[in-house]
Amino acid sequence: MLKKKLFTGICLLSLLSGCVLDDLHDCPGHPDKPVPPNPPEETTQFLYFRYTGDGDTDLLTERISCVDMYVFDSGERLVSTLEIDAEALRARHGVSIDLPAGNYTVVCLGNAGERTQVSDLTTCDLHMMFFAHPGYFMNDESMLTGNDPLYHGDLRFRVEDGKSLKDTVDFNSSHLKVYVEVKGYGTTEYGKDGGEPDIRLHNMPCRVFFDNRICPQRRTYHPEVGREGAQDMYVGKLCTFRLDGNHPAEIALYSGAGTEPFYTVDVADFLKRHPEVDITKQEAELSMRIEFRERNANVTITVPQWGVEDVYPDVGFE
């Protein structure tokens, strides 16, 4: 009899030990005890993002702050559009997808912002879809002050019923950083009125197809120009699309009221003279200094020393 009472007491103590005064859900008989949610199921379709630049280290979140992803089916019809912001990119380095069985193509644009617009995506022809500056679509060259620092990635893959999918979208640079210094402009006959030079980039690529091909069309870019402190130095900086053999790019200097350039630099010739400037790299930069002395009699075209040594000032391309 004593053993039976002792056993009953132990059971009762064990039952009440889960009853906490500040959490009545654990008390026996409480009607509102919550049911814990089901644990999230691991995704079976996931695409990783990767950008290694000119090396082997993944630089994805250092260079890319957001991704716009476009998903096309086997008929090149747009079936989904996803936006991955900086927080999600840092957390997952990729994105979950949920697609039925079939063949797909994804096209991703990194860092697309106010200076990027895509063409009609309902044409069912990926080779004709493209992205460009909004000024291109409005046919207004004065708006072409520079592009976003874009990165492009694409991937073709197949989804099969009952099988998981994990694959990687590798990004490549779709932009070129351009930095032009004009020194001694005040010593020229064009700068004697105290105005600032107008820097223009002629024959530049103006749109890129969804497979990252450069369109042969050309436009003129008009970078914003600023003065460097009190010195007679003006700087124009911008991002453009990458150059290829179809674009004989030219940097031209205009006076404030001039309709014809007073000085031009052939970019291809400049690159031949300065092999240290390699615009084929992923993180490519075209940097030059145009310096005037003695009222135009002496003009030198050089590479800024920081550009040669890969030590860059805060040029604010973004």
**Per-residue pLDDT tens for 78-117?**
999 999 999 999 999 999 999 999 999 999 999 999 999 9
Residue 172 is predicted with a pLDDT of 98
Among 301, 310, 311, 279, which residue's Cα sits nearest to residue 180? 301
The model's pTM is: 0.82
Q: pLDDT below 50 — which residues of the chain? A: 1-40, 308-318
| CA–CA distance, 111 with 83 (Å, rounded to integer) | 11
- At 164, is the secondary structure helix, strand, or coil? coil
Element (H, E) at 5: helix 2-16
141 within 8 A of 135, measured Cβ to Cβ = yes
Structurally, at CATH architecture level, domain 45-113+148-173 sits in Sandwich (2.60)
Task: Kindly list the domain boundaries of the chain, sorted by start residue.
Answer: 45-113+148-173, 176-308
Q: What torsion, rounded to 10 degrees, do the Cα atoms 315, 239, 197, 261 define?
A: 150
Residue 4 is predicted with a pLDDT of 39
Cα 50 to Cα 22, 47, 147, 270, distances in angstroms: 49, 10, 22, 33
The domain made up of 176-308 has a fold known as Immunoglobulin-like (2.60.40)
Count Cβ atoms below 10 Å from residue 176 Cβ, excluding itself: 23
Q: Nearest 5 degrees, angle CA 64-CA 166-CA 172? A: 30
Element (H, E) at 239: strand 233-241
Residue 295 is predicted with a pLDDT of 63
Residue 16 is predicted with a pLDDT of 39
Among 144, 164, 166, which residue's Cα sits nearest to residue 155? 166
| CA–CA distance, 306 with 311 (Å, rounded to integer) | 5
Residue 12 is predicted with a pLDDT of 40
Residue 24 is predicted with a pLDDT of 39
